[in-house]
Amino acid sequence: GDGLIKSVTIDGPGFLNITVEPLADGTYQITTEVADLAGNISSPLEEPLVITIDSADGGTGAAPQSLID
């Protein structure tokens, strides 16, 4: 979509590591799509993950949680 992702890597156990451009305060929706070798792009795979960036929080927010059940 918006060109915010800089890189995506997968480590040994299969965890995704995503590097993004710095994000301004606001709410963002993260979606997942898959592209095959022919360049066909899937529909979004699930409902978007919604995150909010609030730099005025002063660093008192909770640490990120795993999205794995």
pLDDT at 16: 79
CA gap 47, 30 in Å, rounded: 9
Q: Please report the pLDDT score of residue 51 as a whole number.
A: 87
pLDDT at 3 exceeding the cut of 60: no
Q: Kindly give the pairing relationship between strand 16-20 and strand 5-10.
A: antiparallel
pTM of the model: 0.54
Distance separating alpha carbons of residues 53 and 20, to the nearest angstrom: 13
Tens of pLDDT along 10-65? 888 888 788 877 888 999 888 877 778 898 888 877 888 888 888 886 655 555 55
pLDDT recorded at residue 2: 57
- In the predicted structure, residue 68 carries a pLDDT above the cut 60: no
The closest of 10, 6, 31 to 20, measured between CA atoms, is: 6
